[in-house]
Structure 1
Amino acid sequence: MIPLVAVAHGSRDPRSAAQVAALVDVVRALRPGLDARVSFLDLSAPRLTDVLAGVRGEVVVVPLLLGRAYHAKVDVPAIVHEAGRRSPRLSVTVAEALGPDPRLESAALRRLTAAGVRFDDPALGVVLAGAGSSDNRANASVAAMAQRWSAQTGWAGAIAAFAATVQPDVPAAIAKLRARGAERIAVASWFLAPGLLPDRVYTAAHDAAPDVLLADPLGADPGVAELVLQRYDDTLRASLERTG
């Protein structure tokens, strides 16, 4: 079976690497016998470069990224290209990033439910908080998700907010929801794992709304693990079709 190398961004917060490892554990449990390995782009070990250096033959790299932004478009392909240059016996195919995908959205909603959110609460405003990107399309996909939630639930509204790079930030989003009549606030996490940016989001939300409901990052959700395997399978299928 061709190895799967999952690559996450990485963080100085050890909880992040632990959560990514837990997700890959679920992937292994769903597909016994699959050689599924963990790697990171930066800040955590092992790095993708080092993991690929230890592999020979074919391998599929699955970016554990929630959007198709800079890391997915530039960083991962550049590392893979350099790994192939150093080791001609290595053949790497890169899968699509995890997001956007309805299974991630469902996982985020499950995390909200676990935090105590009811979907028929007309006094609730929900902030969908993500990292923020220099790629406007990645930000737009998060905003579109929040708009769907506004239309499909009984909430006072849902608004996307970002920890960095773009607006609105979390306090501004909470203020907008208050203006729409929200009496209670919840924050949905558009992060895969804990770390500096999720903590920044949670602190800002608690400062603006002390009784806020905080949902956990997507983490080792079985739906996310199934999506990782789907990206792996789709990549293998496309590779077979290209080679005839």
Structure 2
Amino acid sequence: MTPPLVAVAHGSRDPRSAATVHALLDVVRAKRPDLDVRAAFLDLSAPRVGDVLSAVHGDGHDTAVVVPLLLGRAFHARVDVPAAVAEAHRRSPRFQVHVSDVLGPDPRLDAAAWRRLLDAGADPRDPELGVLVAAAGSSHAPANQLVADVAERWRAATAWSGAVATFAAAAEPTVPAAIEELRARGARRIAVASWFLAPGLLPDRITAQARDHAEDPLIAEPMADDDNLADLVLARHAEALADAQAHLPAAL
């Protein structure tokens, strides 16, 4: 039996966030109806990671795969997820929990965000369009650099006057500063691409600031239940299982 996939999201007080995670996992289940897929959250939403892992073990599984629904390797990936898995192992030492890599970087993330941006009306051929690639922001610089790399790839592949990363918190440039940078490059129209999995406080902050500092900006929806994202979740599950198999001790 294939070990269950426990998808771990950050969690939010905004009910739209958990609803979006569940919608994504519905797409994952539709692609793999044979796979036991469960949602879990690190904070602010239920069920919590430990409770879900306990339930998986209680249902008779001796192995599970945690797939962090995180876009980069910032604090939650480096600290919170390992801590939750370690606690589950402490409570049930014979229960094996493998943890996959986070979702990013990966071309399927780029594709999901790109599709949402095009859906919002952004034209890759428009030389007067400036695009913000908006993300949460992190004190971990490599996580922010991943977003800046996306913006640079898009700028190089389009006729836009510019594309720059912007962050809701903990990193720069802010939305007003990023808009000014794009205007200095010749942008007369502004679009906001969403480097967010789900709606919530931080995406709403980005949207409000963009509307305060630009006239009628195009606002893309979060990646949410995009097909590319569902494929990526399944790929991370498969990669974690393959890695675990590769590291099994050789038979005596």
TM-score, structure 1 normalization:
0.98
Structure 1 unaligned regions, length at least 5: none
Q: How many residues align?
A: 244
Name the structure 1 match of 2:5. 4
Name the structure 2 match of 1:112. 117
Structure 2 unaligned regions, length at least 5: none
Distance 1:117 1:200 in 2: 21
Distance 2:157 2:229 in 1: 22
Task: Tell me the percent identity.
Answer: 62
**Aligned structure 1 segments of 4 or more residues deviating by more than 3 angstroms:** none
Aligned to 1:159, the other structure's residue is in SS state strand
Shift of residue 155, structure 1, vs aligned partner: 0.4
Name the structure 1 match of 2:216. 211
Aligned to 2:8, the other structure's residue is in SS state strand
Aligned to 1:224, the other structure's residue is in SS state helix
**AA at the equivalent of 2:106:** D
Q: Does 1:90 pair with 2:100? A: no
Name the structure 1 match of 2:45. 44
Distance 2:67 2:5 in 1: 7
Aligned to 2:237, the other structure's residue is in SS state helix
Task: Determine which of 181, 186, 193 is the counterpart of 2:186.
Answer: 181
Alignment of structure 1 residues 64-103 onto 2, 5 Å: 64-103=69-108
Deviation string 1:160-204 (CA, Å, 9 cap, x unpaired) is 000000111111101110111101000000000000000000000
Q: Does 1:131 pair with 2:131? A: no
Aligned to 1:61, the other structure's residue is in SS state strand
Q: Does 1:59 pair with 2:64? A: yes
Output the aligned Cα RMSD. 0.8
Shift of residue 88, structure 1, vs aligned partner: 2.0
Task: Determine which of 135, 153, 164 is the counterpart of 1:159.
Answer: 164
Distance 1:172 1:47 in 2: 37
Distance 1:55 1:85 in 2: 15
**Contact persistence 1:55–1:90 (CA under 8 A):** no
**Contact persistence 1:125–1:183 (CA under 8 A):** yes
